[in-house]
Every structure is written in C-alpha cells, then in structure tokens.
Structure 1
C-alpha cells in the first residue's frame, strides 16, 4: 500500500512538473534558463525515484 502511494505521488509530481515546463516554454523561457534547468533536474530526480521503485518491485517478483 505504501508503494502505491509513492507511485501516485511520483506520477502526480512528474505530471505537474511537465505541465509547468510547458507553461514556461509558452512564456518563451529558453532551454538553458535557470528556471528550465531546475525543472529538468526535478523531473529527472522524480523519474529516477520512480524507476528505482519499479526496479525494486520487479526484483522482488523475480
């Protein structure tokens, strides 16, 4: 149950960050702007956490 909550949290955060990224792209923020880099790093971190959960789940099943 705890893992399901963690999955949901990570997916929600990833989705929110992606939406925010689209908003700032529409504002004309460049890909090398500090704000864009921070969002990219946050998404990368969230995806890494998500992949770790998936890998651990798959390792437990095997």
Structure 2
C-alpha cells in the first residue's frame, strides 16, 4: 500500500510542477512580447535620439 501511495504522490508532484512550468513559460512569452512592443514603439528623446521606453 505504501508504494502505491508514494507513486501517486510522485505523480501528483510531477503534474503540479509541469503545470507551474507551463504557466511560467506563458508568462515569459507575454513579457517578451510586451518588451518587444515597447522596444519598437519607443519615442524620440529631447535630443532627437531614441530614448529608453522604460523609466528606471
């Protein structure tokens, strides 16, 4: 009975990790897309050059 419970716990753990990794991949893709849009859509600065699109 104990090996069955351990196998089920391992399967549940791996399923949870796989789901979390898949969600993190989607978050990474969305952040990359937003970064690319911001990089392309940045405006010109006061000196005529292209400035940073973020304000850090």
TM-score by structure 1 length? 0.48
CA distance in 1, matches of 2:13, 2:25: 18
User: Which of 32, 35, 44 pairs up with 1:55?
Assistant: 32
The root-mean-square deviation of aligned C-alpha atoms, in Å, is 2.1
Q: Which residue of 2 aligns with 1:5?
A: none
When Rg is computed on C-alpha atoms for both structures, the one with the higher figure is 2
Q: Which residue of 2 aligns with 1:41?
A: 18
Aligned residues: 33
Unmatched 5+ residue regions in structure 2?
A: 1-5, 40-56
Displacement of 1:47 in angstroms is 0.2
TM-score by structure 2 length? 0.53
Q: 1:1-62 residue pairs with structure 2 within 5 A? A: 33-62=10-39
Where has structure 1 moved over 3 Å in runs of 4 or more? none
More helix by share: 1
